[in-house]
Amino acid sequence: MKKIFVCSPYHPVSESEAGKKAELEENIYRAKMACRLISACGLMPLAPHLYFTAILDDDQKAERERGIQMGLEWLNEATEVWVFGNRITKGMTLEIERAQELSKPVRNLPEPTKLLGMLIKTIAEKYGLDDYKNEAQHEAAESEEHNGKQE
């Protein structure tokens, strides 16, 4: 089974506590959605930023660094790296650089919710399913609204 390394933001950069909390929730949601999509494709998602942050404190510099280093080691097991969204963090840059050093394919993809909407729309158009086209448009609108709250 192909192992796909999920590369997406985790650590919030907002200044306010409320902003940090909202951004962290959005980042976790994005990573989980990416994992759901990857597993729905019959592939194995590797999301170290979801796993290691469950056992290490991302707000403690030493533990964050240890988590990043373990994630980079986990990247060795990946077949490919999928980068979700347009915002690239320092941690993501390290992951992308390591993947390139290891000659692993790096794929740049849209936000997972946008990707899901695109897939639903494509399938609906192929099979003439008007109800699903509307659902895809609704999903895309919700995604835009959800992502707009983060900014």
DSSP 8-42: ---S---SSHHHHHHHHHHHHHHHHHHHHHHHHTT
Percent of the chain with pLDDT over 90: 68
140 CB-near residues (< 8 Å, 6+ apart): 113, 114, 117, 121
For residues 15-44, give the mean pLDDT.
94
How much is the pLDDT for 131?
A: 59
Percent of the chain with pLDDT over 70: 85
How much is the pLDDT for 74?
A: 95
Q: Is pTM beyond 0.85 here? A: no
61 CB-near residues (< 8 Å, 6+ apart): none
CATH of 3-109, one of 3.10.580.10, 3.40.50.450, 1.10.533.10, 3.40.190.10: 3.40.50.450
Token representation of residue 13 = 């950069």
Instruction: Give the pLDDT confidence of 119-139 residue by residue, as tens digits.
Output: 778 877 888 776 554 555 555
How much is the pLDDT for 123?
A: 78
Residues of the chain with CATH 3.40.50.450: 3-109
7, 74, 84, 106, 109 from 81: Cα distances, Å: 7, 11, 10, 5, 10
Instruction: Give the pLDDT confidence of 54-90 residue by residue, as tens digits.
Output: 999 998 999 999 999 999 999 999 999 999 988 999 9
How are strands ordered across the β-sheet holding 106-109?
Answer: 44-46, 3-7, 80-84, 106-109
